Amino acid sequence: MDTNKLVATYVKIRDARSELKSKYEDDDAKLKAQLDKIERVLLKMTDDLGVTSLKTEAGTATKTQRTRYWAADWDAFKDFMRQYDALDLVERRVHQGNFKEFMETHPDVVPPVNADSSFAITIRRGK
């Protein structure tokens, strides 16, 4: 096969995907904005009526409370987790970049994790 043709086709497909993704993201942002506006109106309606749900023929709108937590000071949060032996307060995933750096500085350590390596091709656009 012709390598130049393969790379050119790859770049063309990647550009088409990027364009599709950009259009999708723009269209999706507009739809999300419309949904947010409707949600705000429905939240105000539930507040004004003193109810937690609005039942209609089209469906039921239910008011729910969502709470999110985050740490502004990670060092203080790590100390807090140690103090209460509460390591399960964080999600269970390995930080890829930090772990790679750790392994590079500690090549003789065998950590209790799984690893998967594979090769990939990176294509840069020509001039």
pLDDT in tens, 65-76: 999 999 999 999
Biggest distance spanned by C-alpha atoms of the chain? 70
> What value, to the nearest 5°, has the Cα angle with vertex 13 and ends 12 and 16?
90
Which residue, among 25, 26, 22, has the nearest Cα to 14 in the 3D structure? 22
Identify the DSSP state of 55.
E
Per-domain boundaries in the chain? 3-105
pTM of the model: 0.71
The pLDDT tens digits of the residues spanning 10-66 come to 999 999 999 999 999 999 999 999 999 999 999 999 999 999 999 999 999 999 999
What six digits make up the tokens of 47? 């507040």
